[in-house]
Homo-oligomer: A and B are copies of this chain.
């Protein structure tokens, strides 16, 4: 029990790149499929069938995910098996969660409450109610 969720916190530019990698339907499908198949993984052909896209397009997306270290690959004979890189994915959720957990959900409901008012110097946006 030494390795619960010990992180290297991820930096913002990297997080943005990784979010971008997930920001495509085909690639997010791949990642979800690999997470569900974890730790067995899936070979490229299986992914291709699941996604119904041309092989070259699939490879392109797999490269993009691999470049961001969100998945890994290994050759098994004629097949290439892909795996979700769960640690990298967890880092990503934690990037948001770290900031998000302390934020309670006031904002949406009471927008109006956010009141401007009480201005000091003109030009300085004060919040306060």
Q: Which residues of A contact B (CB under 8 A)?
A: 12-13, 15-25, 27-29, 32, 35-36, 38-41, 43, 45-46, 72, 74, 76-77, 79, 81, 83-87, 89-90, 92-93, 96-97, 99-100, 102-108, 111-112, 114-116, 125, 127-129
Contacts and interface: CB of A to CB of B under 8 A. Distances in A.
A94 to B, nearest CB: 8
B129 A76 contact: yes
A66 B126 CA distance: 22
How many copies of this kind of chain does the complex include?
A: 2
- Chain A interface main SS type: helix
Given A103-B84, A127-B76, A23 B28 contact: no
19 contacts: A12-B25, A19-B19, A19-B23, A21-B23, A22-B96, A32-B99, A38-B104, A40-B115, A41-B114, A43-B125, A72-B107, A79-B125, A83-B108, A83-B111, A84-B107, A85-B107, A86-B105, A87-B105, A89-B96
